[in-house]
Chain A
Amino acid sequence: MNCPTCERNLSAYVDDELTTDVRLEIEAHLDECAACRAEFEGHQAAWEAVGMAPAGQAPEELWESIEAELQPQEKGGATTLEDLALMLRGLAGEMQDLRQTVDGMRREMGEGEWDEEREADEDIRVPSRPFASGRQRPGSIEQFKRSS
Chain B
Amino acid sequence: MENQADVGLIAACQQGDPRSFRRVFEIYRDRVYALCRHMAGNDEDAEDLTQESFVWAFKNIGSFRAEAAFGTWLYRIASNRCLAELRKRRPQFQSVEMAEKNNVVPLTSGVNPEDLMVRKELIQRAETAVAALPEQQRLVFVLGTQMGMRYREIGEIVGCSEDAIKVRIHRARKRVRDAMKPYLENGK
- Asked if B180 contacts A84 (CB within 8 A), the reply is no
- Asked if B146 contacts A66 (CB within 8 A), the reply is no
Across the interface, A69 reaches (CB within 8 A) one of B29, B55, B150, B184, namely: B55
Given known pairs A66-B51, A82-B16, the reply for A55 and B130 (CB within 8 Å) is: no
Chain B CB within 8 A of A34 CB: no
Cβ contacts under 8 Å, B54 to chain A = 66
Considering the complex, which residues of chain B in the window 1-52 have a beta carbon less than 8 Å from any beta carbon of chain A? 13-16, 18, 21-22, 25-26, 29-30, 32-35, 37-38, 43, 46-47, 50-51
Q: B20 → chain A, closest Cβ, in Å?
A: 10
- Asked if A56 contacts B123 (CB within 8 A), the reply is no
Q: Which residue of B lies closest to A12 (CB)?
A: B166
Chain A CB within 8 A of B82 CB: no
Q: Which residue of B lies closest to A10 (CB)?
A: B170
How many of A's residues come within 8 Å of B, CB to CB? Answer: 37
Cβ contacts under 8 Å, B83 to chain A = none
Residues of B within 8 A of A (CB): 13-16, 18, 21-22, 25-26, 29-30, 32-35, 37-38, 43, 46-47, 50-51, 54-55, 58-59, 61-62, 98-99, 101-102, 105, 107, 119, 122-123, 125-127, 129-130, 144-146, 150-151, 162, 166, 169-170, 173-174, 176-177, 180-181, 184
Residues of A within 8 A of B (CB): 8, 10-12, 14-15, 17, 42-43, 45-47, 49-59, 62-63, 65-67, 69-70, 73, 79-82, 84-85
Taking A52-B107, A58-B30, A81-B62 as given, write out 5 further A-B residue pairs in contact, using a Cβ cutoff of 8 Å, ordered by the A residue number: A11-B169, A51-B146, A53-B126, A70-B59, A81-B14
